[in-house]
Amino acid sequence: MQFHMTPGSCTTGIHILLEELELVFEVYLVNLLAGDQDKPAYRALNPKGTIPTLVRDDGSALTEFQAIAWWLARNWPKKGLLPADAEGEARVLEIMNHAVGTLHGQGFARIFTTEKFSSDPATHEAVKARGREIIEQGFAVMDTILAGKEYAVGTFSIADAALFYVEFWADRSGIALPPACEAHYRRMLTRRAVRQVLAEEGYRV
């Protein structure tokens, strides 16, 4: 398989899952600042120009974090990255979508890509402030869910990989995590796959 990713981005979560599953794959770096996502070769794989993209053994490309994570979990079920029951699977998807859609898509996106939310520089600080509010509110929700648990649904799942990358962003951005989220983040940092991925992507653990 070919994994198209950007170090330190949301693709870190998928990178972790690939390593947890001990799969064989080739890494292709997508330099967002250089505009690699808009080049014809990449657009041929992913017309949306987004990351991550996973080109599977049959040559077909799969995009979107949630879709790739779910596909990996379903195709390697013995690893237990997705609960076997409908309730457990729904809870995993609920948490993963909150991390990707709300914390990332509405919160951190306002901080990292402020200009996409407003073309007026005079409003950028307000946009970032709103992003931080969304992040703090989002983590407060997750803190309640994580309370008393080692992982999002009790055992490690694809939801934890999604949650980790936004916790990582919070840590790198100086945003304090609430207690249960902080404990989850520190626990994730002890996993072999997480430490390996961060080292490969150029971060000190």
Q: Are residues 112 and 178 in the same domain?
A: yes
pLDDT for the residue 11: 97
Residue 200 lies in a domain: no
* Domain span including residue 26: 2-79
Q: Are residues 71 and 104 in the same domain?
A: no
Which is it for the CA torsion 69, 72, 78, 79, positive or negative?
Answer: negative
Q: Are residues 179 and 96 in the same domain?
A: yes
b/e per residue 57-87 (b: at least 16 CB within 10 A): eeeeebbbbbebbbebbeebeeeebbbeeee
Q: What is the pLDDT along the chain (205 residues), one digit of tens a residue?
A: 999 999 999 999 999 999 999 999 999 999 999 999 999 999 999 999 999 999 999 999 999 999 999 999 999 999 999 999 999 999 999 999 999 999 999 999 999 999 999 999 999 999 999 999 999 999 999 999 999 999 999 999 999 999 999 999 999 999 999 999 999 999 999 999 999 999 999 998 7
Residue 150 lies in a domain: yes
Output the six-digit token pair for 159.
């939801």
- Rounded Cα distance between 127 and 134, Å, is 11
Whichever domain contains 141, its CATH number is 1.20.1050.10
**Domain C-terminal end among 33, 62, 79:** 79
Q: Are residues 96 and 18 in the same domain?
A: no
pLDDT for the residue 108: 98
**Domain C-terminal end among 79, 112, 145:** 79
Residues 6+ apart with CB under 8 A from 203: 7, 8
Number of domains in the chain: 2
Q: In what order do the strands lie in the sheet with 2-5?
A: 26-29, 2-5, 53-55, 61-63
- Rounded Cα distance between 70 and 169, Å, is 22
Q: Are residues 95 and 178 in the same domain?
A: yes
Q: Are residues 58 and 90 in the same domain?
A: no
Whichever domain contains 45, its CATH number is 3.40.30.10
Q: How far is CA 202 from CA 6, 63, 83, 172, 198, in A?
A: 11, 24, 32, 13, 6
Residue 26 lies in a domain: yes
